[in-house]
Amino acid sequence: MKAPSSALPRKLVGAAIVAFWLVMVGLLAWREIRARRATLPADAAVILAPADTWLGLFFEGDHPVGTVHLTTRREWRQGVVGTTLRLDGHIQLRMLGTPAELALDGWLWRATREPRAEFDAAITSSQGPLRAVGHVYNDELRARITSGGQTFPVTLPVGRSLFAPDLLALRLPVTGLRPGQETTLDALDPMSGRPTQVRLACQREETVRVGGAPVHARVLAASTPHGTITAWVAENGEVIKADTPWGLSVRRISPAEAVMLRRGDQEPELTAALLVVPTGKRPFRGARRMVVRVGGLPPSRPLPTDDTQRPGPETRPLVIAPVQPLSGGARDATRDDLAAALECDALIQCDHPKIRAQAAEIIGDERDPWRRAVRIERWVNASLAKRGVLSPGSALDVLAHREGDCTEHTALFTALARAAGIPTRQIAGLVWSDELQAFGYHAWPEVFVGRWVWVDPTLGQEIADATHIRLTMPDTVGFEEVLDALGRLKVEVVEVE
């Protein structure tokens, strides 16, 4: 299996890094502190002195994948005082010999004592930037997201609790948190956009070295919906280092170390870290049926089932047998399901004139939904160069650049299929690689043509073979289930034919 077809989407590595950083910045900037067993200062909404911090990002121990530069300063906006957090990040890695880079850049301003915030942030890949500009006031976030040259408005309720008076701006609440004590924080899950809670528990105190100097720190366990982040936090609340369950770690570094990391000639090879080597029988590309046992997932993340992936005769095995398209009415989809699977958004710009024109050219005068889907699958597979790209997966950008791995193939197929009137959803999970003799993380679409049918334009499969294992639920829009699985999954292949 060649690099992009390897089902190792760089988006997942980027998602892990970005998700971690959003969680940490969220804790540092927007979290309401509701003490349970610890007593925190009553007047916690303070303006901090200007700060300048460099952090190194590492994967699987000591493999550097990037740097983050954080600065904070006091700033007045329209007569209101607040604190501005600026972030400049750079991620570089290599998978199956293909280098990929991603840049993070932006700022967040938060008023000190008013429920107000403003932000401007961008993620830039080789295919272009994804930018979000907006503000938060009271209990609502309003933003404009620009991708592929098109701008989309977004409105998201965030709740007034994110601006409670006892918010501790830009640093973690540890001044009153001692070993054995904990605090629960209302939060916004960055992977799903849903309200959640993060539990901060102080485990112990210890001395760590930063820049050669000893620093007294508290070790905090931040329990998030996607696993527990362990953070070493100084007395002033600054994060010195942190480890995540996805193999990513963050450490305080000096500006000189940051320069050296950014000048590094060798990006780390992350292929092995994102492979799942199964036990039992060995699958093969093109399999018609496969029975597997999948372990390692948290109890809150049951594996999804549908017409293709269904429970076996025992409790745990899954039987994966691709289904054939059917004619007729909706067997397993509601009107809401189908309507949602035709919607356009900031990354799947199915109503853009370029997407609609390309879809019309591909399908021609074909009226049958399944044959339309097959034409789009063949065109996407033939038109995109198979190259690894670390990008958000904007369909317009993919159409313009004509390259990518499974994320880009899936995004463009989804946009074209929806433009052609075919309800389409994106799936993420695992697929087998004959070359690597392992399962790799992968993305592919499913189309509704009388029933939901898996399609794989990356691998050139009109109907995805039985070596695909679905991890994401049909009603989710993100890849949080895959993020939860990183580094945890165990697969036993019971049968394959």
* CATH code assigned at 349: 3.10.620.30
Residues 237 and 308 in one domain: no
- Do 409 and 386 contact (CB within 8 A), yes or no? no
Q: How far are the Cα atoms of 17, 344, 368 from residue 375, in angstroms, in the given order? A: 36, 21, 11
Burial 305-329 (b: 16+ CB within 10 A, else e): ebbbbeeeeeeeebbbebbebeeee
Length of the chain (residues): 497
Residues 370 and 447 in one domain: yes
Distance CA 238, CA 53 (A): 9
Among 228, 262, 296, identify where a domain stops.
262
Q: In the structure, what pLDDT confidence band is assigned to residue 7 with cuts at 50, 70 and 90?
A: very low
Distance CA 320, CA 57 (A): 37
Residue 419 has pLDDT above 70, yes or no: yes
154 in any annotated domain: no
473 in any annotated domain: yes
445 in any annotated domain: yes
Structural domain of residue 30, as residue ranges?
A: 4-113+165-262
Beta bridge partners of 199: 184, 223
Residues 233 and 286 in one domain: no
- Give me the pLDDT at residue 162, please: 44
Distance CA 389, CA 392 (A): 9
SS3 (DSSP) at 380: helix
Residues 385 and 255 in one domain: no
Among 214, 234, 262, identify where a domain stops.
262
Residue 61 has pLDDT above 80, yes or no: no
- Give me the pLDDT at residue 265, please: 55
Residues 423 and 357 in one domain: yes
Instruction: Rank 45-49, 214-218, 361-365 by mean pLDDT and report only the highest.
Output: 361-365
| Cβ atoms within 10 Å, residue 249 | 21
136 in any annotated domain: no
User: How many structural domains are present in the chain?
Assistant: 2
Residues 250 and 308 in one domain: no
128 in any annotated domain: no
Residue 380 has pLDDT above 90, yes or no: yes
Residues 258 and 291 in one domain: no
Distance CA 346, CA 340 (A): 14
Q: In the structure, what pLDDT confidence band is assigned to residue 185 with cuts at 50, 70 and 90?
A: low
Burial 163-195 (b: 16+ CB within 10 A, else e): bbeebbbbbbbbbebeeebbbbbbbbbbbbeee
Q: Which amino acid is at 374?
A: V
- Give me the pLDDT at residue 464, please: 97
Distance CA 347, CA 168 (A): 34
Residues 354 and 409 in one domain: yes
311 in any annotated domain: yes
Among 262, 290, 322, identify where a domain stops.
262
Residues 254 and 307 in one domain: no
Distance CA 371, CA 369 (A): 6
Q: Residues near 212 by Cβ (< 8 Å), separated by ≥ 6?
A: none
Residue 117 has pLDDT above 80, yes or no: yes
Residues 356 and 487 in one domain: yes
pLDDT tens string 388-417: 777 777 899 899 989 888 888 999 999 999
pLDDT tens string 238-288: 778 888 776 778 888 888 888 777 765 555 555 666 789 999 999 999 999
- Give me the pLDDT at residue 22, please: 42
The mean per-residue pLDDT over the stretch 93-111 comes to: 75
375 against 152, higher pLDDT: 375
75 in any annotated domain: yes
121 in any annotated domain: no
The mean per-residue pLDDT over the stretch 208-235 comes to: 81
Q: Residues 407, 440, 381, CA angle at the centre, nearest 5°?
A: 40
